[in-house]
Amino acid sequence: MELQTETGCATSLEIRGPSTRAVHGGAERHNPYHAVVPPIVQTATYAFRDTADLIAFQEARQWGAAGGRVDYGRYGNPTVAALEARVAALEGAEAAAAFSSGMAAVTAILFASLRSGAHLIVTEDAYRRTRQFVLQFLRRFGVEATVVPIGDFEALEAAIRPNTRLIFTETPTNPYLRVMDLERLAEIARRRRIRTVVDATFATPINLRPLDYGIDLVIHSATKYLSGHNDVMAGVVAGSADLIAGLREMQAMIGGILDPHAAYLVLRGLKTLALRVHRQNENGMRVAEFLSAHPRIRRVWYPGLPSHPDHAVARRLMRGFGGVVTFEVAADREGTSRFIDALHIPYIAPSLGGVESLIEQPALMSYYEMDPEERSAIGITDNLVRLSLGIEDPDDLLADLEQALARLP
């Protein structure tokens, strides 16, 4: 990164701190109109000065040297490019590509990486829509999938076939916050020449950078922590320049592009990412410790607690344990709902990662269409609660939880 001295000369400075990267990483020092903030370039098409300018552009693109210039909005946008550069800097990646949602990013990777006759492996605690796409939709195209328990590397290696092309996992997972040993996963994949993809939405680049451990591609639903304000939908993928270039080709065909105003909102959110995540890490740890000691709570899942099955892995790989706490209330479904309704601070809502705390009862939110037996088979109990902590003061959050739990019999 280059910074300007008082004399106007450029000087090279290595940016190491996550908050500095979140504000300045990948940024152009001089923006149009002398703006400090990259402007929103709200255009669907791009003009040429004359025919000679057009021909020069076409010749450069033919040889892969168009200098980032595009002719149509589906192929790129300066505001979106600024976001992609910032995320690449945060992840320590060569490049990144932004999409209209996290699922658009997931499906683009799968479409770009797999063809009929291919096989992939996905871990069982992956996001339910990802599992549905892998197990139901891709099957229509002749792609087979095997689901393995996260952390069971014997099952993972046993599932690998000659036609296995991809291993897809999340870390931490939803809702039980399982943490994959990325070093071990990357070693197996390299040895078997299989591509690895990690959805690290819950971790953020502040708490974990999967590429540092040998993972090929990392995904974020930027709707969550990266934007941080529950007001925009976006997704982003980071990795090597070659892999991201292939994703851009797929994106140009399927059209899951991010609009420039949404990119601007995510860029604005990224500037406070490290500050927000540090507070959410603090809130997560405080709440997890409080709940684990409370007599009206049966069990707590949080990677920062020694009781979590992946605590040792989380301590080794992660710089913080995140702002999501999952727990079981000592009550039935109706009692758990009464506890949630008695809370004053969290909103009852899906999603996570924003400045506002959000709470949900998965049996009634994400898995309502399943009957109790189906939910139980995948580990979703009626008294399960997922609490995504915002940046509120921790003492206020604890007091709110205490008064709501005190109402239980």
Q: Which of 123, 109, 122 is nearest to 216 (CA)?
A: 109
Query: Active-site residue numbers?
Result: 74, 127, 199, 224
Beta bridge partners of 301: 326
402 Cβ neighbours under 8 A, 6+ residues apart: 290
Contact, 98 vs 84, CB < 8 A? yes
CA distance 93 to 183: 17
Residue with tokens 């990795």: 239
